[in-house]
Chain A
Amino acid sequence: MNLERLPNEEKLSLCRKYYLGGFAFLPFLWLVNVVWFFREAFVKPAYTEQLQIKTYVKRSAFGLLLWVAVLTTWITIFQHFRAEWGEVGDYLSFTIPLGIP
């Protein structure tokens, strides 16, 4: 879909849908939202719906950053301590590497 061809109201409704959809534990929707609407929100000359779009994009970006931070921390902790946790570590794993603790 080409955003250029869309009327401004539809842009806003689309951005809003992506923003709300992200709350269903779908940070990738927020990522898409940020990338897709970045130009609309910050580069394009001002129009009525732009302010609203800006808020959604900012919030999406914030949520995305939060997710990235949480996931990075968890993955680091998990990879580091999986072997130490023993039983718990194994049950948390989807694939267990062969031949290493």
Chain B
Amino acid sequence: MDLLSNKWIVNVLICCFFIGVGCNSVEKKIYVHLNYTVPCVRLLNATHQIGCQSSLSGNVGVLHVLESEDNLDWVLSKGPNPPYLVILEAALFTRSIMMKLKNGSNRVAGVAVVAPNTNPTEPFSPYTTCPNENTGVYTEKYDPAYAHCNVTVWNPLGNGLAYEEFDFPIFSLKDDNDTQVIRQCFLDHNQVVNGSAPQYPLCAMQLYSHMSAVTDTATCMRRNDINFSISPEGVCDPLGDSNVWASSRPINTTQKGHKNSENVIIAAARLDSRSFFFDIAPGAQSSVTGFVSLLAAAHALRNATQEAPPNRTILYTFFQGETFDYIGSSRMVYDMENNQFAVDLDNVHSVLEVGQVGLRSDSQLWLHSDPVSRRNSSVNDEVRKLIENLQVASKDLNVTVNQPQASQPLPPSSFQRFLRARPIPGIVIEDHQSVFTNRYYESMYDNAEYLNISYPSNLTADEQLEHITETATALTEVATMVARALYIQAGGEESRLPSITAEARLVTRMLYSLLIKSNNSWFQEIIPSEFMSRLTEKPTNFYVGVANWQSSEPTFLVQYLLANLTGTVVNVTKEDCQHQREDDKDKESHHLYHYMWVQGSVPPNGTQRESFCVRSTVHLSKALSPAFDPLKEYTSTEYSTWTESRWKTIKGRIFLVASHELEMLTLGVGVGVLVTSLLLTYLISSKADILFSSGREPTNATY
């Protein structure tokens, strides 16, 4: 008897053990997890929240693959199994469909957009039609005629989707095996045949993207500061990163504020971009064409500015976060006004900004200037000189420079933030006369493919890196022109111009690194070994992200590009290089220069990389909106107030759901079994004397 019961206990234990181990596989049998999920996340500013969010436990909906816009009424009214999780092909990801889904959101659990592998033919821009409408220079106060893009609507294709608020999650899926599984699951279980409802079990999807922050920046920043609760946790972080800048002549950065001897020309470009989804922002035409041209120009000017330095200094600046109400440029102007930067606004002679220059028609470039500040004759004279210099620079090149009509305002540009502070002469170079030529402004299709950057299929990665594309050749022309214009604008000799030329090989390498993959043999050579892990196999994501201790990927890449392109190799030991000095007695150099110990290349007959020290004038400066630090004005109308919500889980999975009736039946049976067993136990224990009297000795123990 005893032996038998022991055996039973052992059996039960073994069973428990197997059930415990088997749990994981049961979970795997139920759910298929999605590998590649890119969410749309919540961003907040002084007055609004935009983006998407799910409930805390994820939104569950029955899958419905939308075939056309007419098919929508199944989701919004006819379908018998709401809420639905709508799978959209990229072609159907339009404003009209998304707004209908938003308005019918009690029947919509979420949306998953299948990102195509090739760009669509229709234009698509989720951005607004008037980028950075309220934080540029054209306010009611500046000139009412130009406010709110009254004269030119810069991005007429913009549908404003990226500035809408959705109360369901929206994910992007890559068109691969995952989406094939989803489609198959839909076809097998949810397909509507002749308008009749599909039979249970149905295929469903669950998306998690619960956002912590809510309402607006003032609310979430306040909640960040309340440390009253047991487990204080932040809910949002300001967007921001670092601007990258370098000067053609070293400037003492420790000494802030006005410098009597300096007269600088700011050569600017913007570094960031965005799209509807969180971590896809290829920004090829929106930002990469501009700053790659400027980087190549800076490289072309390296020798000329060292051999025959012009009397003005050229300041190459790359602004971060410009997409979100000019974070980088507004911060630099603020710092210049408050003597927190190496130079101040009095030191600024003029500004030359390179905007979108990748899609020139007939090799034309357009020189945009501000009609309002040009009403002042001294500013007008300076602008005219700058235009003349650009015309001189474009001679002998495959570039024609033109001016748009005089009454047209500046396109969205960092230069606007300088004008907002004071009337500084300046020009913005673009490839469009009035509205953007870019059909995919700030979207996920603004990629290498859109710029026609393609490589013959038989090339290895290293050969692709060196392959000079037509786009690279065209951008090299632009870079050469920018470099020459900057040189004479800085007061250099016109006779030296022919020697200033940008390298197509360099431009094509940069385009490959930024738009195809940064983990390539060339980039590995120009960064320190400890940052090798930051190089990726994917196109760079140019979304600015939140300000934290580590600079974002684009800032990091541009910082090292600029340092290697404008800096010089110096014969300094590794230790001194890492301590920012020439030798152990040197205490001054770190005010002027930045030293970096880069990996270098492997010599043809060696195995070890030959590392060396690069000395450059490259510096990072804060690109955090002054509204956060130091002003703490979270409702500012002057400065960017964008923050990004925090979140805990971003994931998606698909599984089969049973009908509501079956679920209730299962629950009912379970409850029934429980109640019956309780009753039975009660009855047995109350009649225990009768039932078990024969088998037991009466117990004599007293308690």
Question: What is the interface of chain A, defined by CB distance below 8 A to chain B?
Answer: 86-87, 90-91, 93-96, 98-101
Contacts and interface: CB of A to CB of B under 8 A. Distances in A.
Contacts of B219: 86, 90, 101
A86 B258 CA distance: 43
Interface in B213-271: 213-215, 219, 222-223, 226, 228-230, 235
B354 interface: no
Interface in B486-541: none
B226 A91 contact: yes
Interface of chain A: mostly helix, strand, loop or mixed: loop
Nearest to A87: B222
Given A91-B226, A99-B211, 8 more contacts: A87-B222, A93-B228, A96-B223, A96-B229, A99-B53, A99-B56, A99-B213, A100-B214
A96 B214 CA distance: 11
A93 B235 CA distance: 15
Contact of A90 (B212, B213, B226): B226
A98 B228 contact: no
A101 B214 contact: yes
B190 to A, nearest CB: 30
B210 interface: yes
B230 A98 contact: no
14 contacts: A86-B219, A87-B222, A90-B222, A90-B226, A91-B226, A94-B228, A95-B230, A96-B223, A98-B212, A98-B235, A99-B210, A99-B211, A100-B214, A101-B215
Given A86-B219, A87-B222, A99-B214, A94 B53 contact: no
Interface string B36-62: 000000000000000001001000000
Contacts of A94: 228-229
Contacts of B53: 99
Nearest to B49: A101
Contacts of A90: 219, 222-223, 226
Interface of B: 53, 56, 210-215, 219, 222-223, 226, 228-230, 235
B215 A99 contact: no
Contacts of B213: 99
A101 B210 CA distance: 14
Contacts of A93: 226, 228
Nearest first, the 4 closest Cβ-Cβ pairs linking A and B are A98-B212, A95-B229, A101-B215, A101-B214
A99 B212 contact: yes
A101 B219 CA distance: 9
A87 B215 CA distance: 12
Contacts of B226: 90-91, 93, 96
Contacts of A100: 214
A98 B226 CA distance: 13
Nearest to A96: B223
A97 to B, nearest CB: 9
Contacts of A91: 226
A99 to B, nearest CB: 5
A62 to B, nearest CB: 34
A91 B223 CA distance: 9
Nearest to A89: B219
A94 B231 CA distance: 10
A98 B234 CA distance: 10
A85 B644 CA distance: 23
Nearest to A94: B229
Contacts of B222: 87, 90
A96 to B, nearest CB: 6
B215 A98 contact: no
A91 to B, nearest CB: 7
A98 B211 CA distance: 7
A25 B223 CA distance: 30
Contacts of B212: 98-99
Contacts of B228: 93-94
A10 to B, nearest CB: 31
Contacts of A95: 229-230
B105 to A, nearest CB: 16
A101 B212 CA distance: 10
A94 B213 CA distance: 17
B210 A98 contact: yes
A100 B213 CA distance: 8
A90 B232 CA distance: 13
B590 to A, nearest CB: 44
Contacts of A86: 219
A87 B226 CA distance: 11
A101 B230 CA distance: 20
Contacts of B230: 95
Nearest to A91: B226
A85 to B, nearest CB: 11
A67 B76 CA distance: 48
